[in-house]
Amino acid sequence: MYTEENCRFTKTHEWVHMEGDIATVGISNHAQEEISDIVFVDLPKVGQQVTAGQNCCVIESVKSASEIYAPVSGEVVEVNEALNGDPALVNREPHGNGWLFKIKMTAPAEYENLLDLKAYKATLGK
């Protein structure tokens, strides 16, 4: 599965797990804690083209609505339909069954620009 250790991160708290040219995207445990109780996930559409750094998904919690940015560019090939019925999955298993969507990457090199766990954790202290 996707663990903190085998993922890379963005400064905006998304994680990416890469397998071939497919990037699975979710939000970090820190992010779900900050967002608090999630009540709705507005997922991107399958087939949608996304660009790294552009918002493509919205997570609503009892506190706020947070935009989720595509960590890498490509086409959305799958979304986590389970979140439609149970958005709290993102709170319970941010790194597991609470993943958000999968992107078929057009520029796999973008993955290399993302932060590893240590570098990501270093950004949290700030």
**Number of residues that this document lists for the chain:** 126
The stretch near other proteins (CB under 8 A) out of 16-24, 33-41, 76-84, 109-117 is 33-41
CB of 122 to other proteins, least distance (A): 18
CB of 34 to other proteins, least distance (A): 8
Task: Report the C-alpha gap between 15 and 115 in whole angstroms.
Answer: 9
φ/ψ of residue 62, rounded to 5: -65, -15
Question: According to CB under 8 A, which one of 44, 71, 74, 87 is a site residue for other proteins?
Answer: 87
List the structure tokens of 88.
């709290």
CB of 121 to other proteins, least distance (A): 18
Please work out the total of residues on this chain that contact other proteins, with binding judged by CB under 8 A.
10
Position 93 contacts other proteins (CB under 8 A) = no
| Cβ–Cβ < 8 Å for 77, 103 | yes
List the structure tokens of 108.
């796999």
List the structure tokens of 107.
């520029």
Would you tell me which residues interact with other proteins (CB under 8 A)?
34, 37, 39-40, 60, 62-64, 87-88
